[in-house]
Structure 1
C-alpha cells in the first residue's frame, strides 16, 4: 500500500467515525449518509451495554446519542455509554433509569474516562442524582433508585 493511499484511507475513516473533514474527491452527501449509518449502529451497540440509559431517554435516545457522538471517535459501547451518562449527569439531563444504571456501574467498576474499566476490589458507595448504590464483597445493591422530578 502506498503512503498516499494509506493517508487517503485514514482521512476517510476519520471523516466517517471521528467527524473529520471529508477528504477531497469524496461525495459529501454519500459520506454523510455513511457517517450517520455508522453513528446509528454505534448507538445500538451502546444501548446494548446501557439499556436503562437508552430506555430512560426513550424516543430521544437516537438523537441524544448522535448529537453527543458526532465528532468523537468510539471507545467501544461500554465506554461510550459511560462517557455519555457522565456527560448527561454533569448537564443535569440524566434520566432516573440512567442514574440508577450509572450508580451501579460506578459502584462495581473503576473507570477514569480514558483507560479500560476495571472491577473494584474495595467496598464502594456511589451517589448519582437520586440513585445510591453500594458494593461490598463483589455484590452490588441499589439502595435508593433515582426518582423523576
Structure 2
C-alpha cells in the first residue's frame, strides 16, 4: 500500500500534468477538476499576457488548454512565456502578440528553466515581425509589421 503522500502526489500529477488517475479516485470527477484548474490557470496567464490572450481571441482557451494539459505549472509569467515561445516555434504567434513577447525577451533573461531575471546589458529581440530594444532598463518597440 502506498503512503498518503504518494497518493496525493499521484492525484496532483493527474490534475496538473496529464498523469493517469490514481486507483480509488473517480475519473470523471478528477477530469472535471482538471479542466477547471486548466481554465483557472489560463485566466492567470491571460492576466500576465494580455496581448497574447487578446490576439488568440476566442481560440485562447482551446490553444492554451491543448498546450498546458500535460505540463505542470511554473507560474503564470513563465507559463505564458513558454506558451508564446512554443507558438513562435510553430510559426503560430499572432502578430498582435509579437510586441509583448519581444518586449519581455528584451527586458528579461529567461532560459525556460529558472525564474526570469532582469537584463543589465542592452538587448535587441524580435518576435512575430516586431523588434524591441532594451537600453538602461527601458524597452522600446521599434518596428511592428
TM-score range, shorter chain: over 0.9
Instruction: Could you tell me which runs of 5 or more consecutive residues in structure 2 were left unpaired when the two chains were aligned.
Output: none
Question: Residues 1-149 of structure 1 correspond to what in structure 2 (within 5 A)?
Answer: 4-145=3-144, 147=145
Partner secondary structure for residue 143 of structure 1: strand
Pairwise CA distance, 1:3 = 6.0
The alpha carbon displacement at 1:129 in A equals 2.1
Which of structure 1's runs of 4+ aligned residues deviate more than 2 A?
Answer: none
C-alpha separation between the residues in 2 aligned to 1:104 and 1:50? 11
Query: Could you report, residue by residue, the CA deviation over 1:72-112 in whole angstroms, capped at 9, with x for unpaired residues?
Result: 00000000000000000010100112211000000000000
Report how far residue 127 of structure 1 moved.
Answer: 1.3
CA contact (8 A) 2:94 2:128 kept: no
Q: Which runs of 5+ in 1 are unaligned?
A: none
Q: Following the alignment from structure 2 to structure 1, what is the Cα–Cα distance between the partners of residues 96 and 76?
A: 18
**8 Å contact 2:14–2:22 — kept in the other structure?**
yes
Q: Name the CA distance, whole Å, in 2 between partners of 1:112 and 1:97.
A: 23
Q: TM-score, normalised by structure 2?
A: 0.97
1:26 and 1:17 map into 2 onto residues whose CA distance is 15
User: What is the root-mean-square deviation of aligned Cα atoms in Å?
Assistant: 1.2
Q: Normalising by the residue count of structure 1, what TM-score does the alignment of the two structures yield?
A: 0.94
What do residues 22-56 of structure 1 show as CA deviations (whole Å, max 9, x unaligned)? 00111111100000000000000000110000000
* Alignment partners' CA distance in 2, 1:86 and 1:6: 34
How many pairs are equivalent? 145
